[in-house]
A = this chain, B = another copy of it.
Amino acid sequence: MLESAGSSTEPREPAITRENVTAKPIDAHEPWMRGLHADTGYLLYRLGLRSGQLFNACLQESGLRLRHYAVLRFLAGTDGAPQRELSTRLGYDPSAIVGLVDDLEKLGFAERRPSPDDRRSRIVVLTDSGRDFLRDTDEAGLRVTGELLGPLDPAERELLHALLLRIAEEGLN
């Protein structure tokens, strides 16, 4: 577990199990459904929540949470970034980054290195161990995604991914 500075014992499992995340099916013809999901934005919000829950459920056995994962994912594409960049790019508060990197460092997934240019900034790099972890959890991620995208066939999934990506390109964090 990781509890960085908190140095505590039990992180108190968030009780997000597959069972209570996966809820009862929905009939789109019920009136309340029409009311709820009328708007694409709101729909996106709800589904994002659900996706996050599923992801977290997968991650929690490794003691990490989505934010850690986000940092790792980011690092995987940059080979080394100062914390400041993590903050702005991922949209987390600088003080949040500190704890996240602490945790990752404690698990050996990342490490801080002094910047050659600027002595106040510290560059976070992904370790081999971190890269392994990332590859392993990618499978879990795909499993989750498969679960989430259940009713869609491969072509539709591809389409959805493309659409979402287009939206994301337009200013995400």
Contact check, A35 vs B74: say whether CB atoms are below 8 A apart.
yes
Quickly give the copy total for this chain.
2
Contact size class for A?
35 or more
A43 to B, closest residue via Cβ: B164
Quick one: given A48-B48, A55-B45, A164-B44, are A145 and B31 in contact (CB under 8 Å)? no
Say yes or no: B78 contacts A7, CB within 8 Å. no
A32 to B138, CA, bound (A): 16
A14 interfacial by beta-carbon distance below 8 Å: no
Contact at B51–A41, with CB atoms within 8 Å? yes
A112 to chain B, nearest CB (A): 15
Q: Which chain A residues have a beta carbon within 8 Å of chain B's beta carbons?
A: 1-8, 22-28, 30-52, 54-55, 66-67, 69-70, 73-78, 87, 89-100, 103, 138, 141-142, 144-145, 148-152, 156-157, 159-161, 163-173
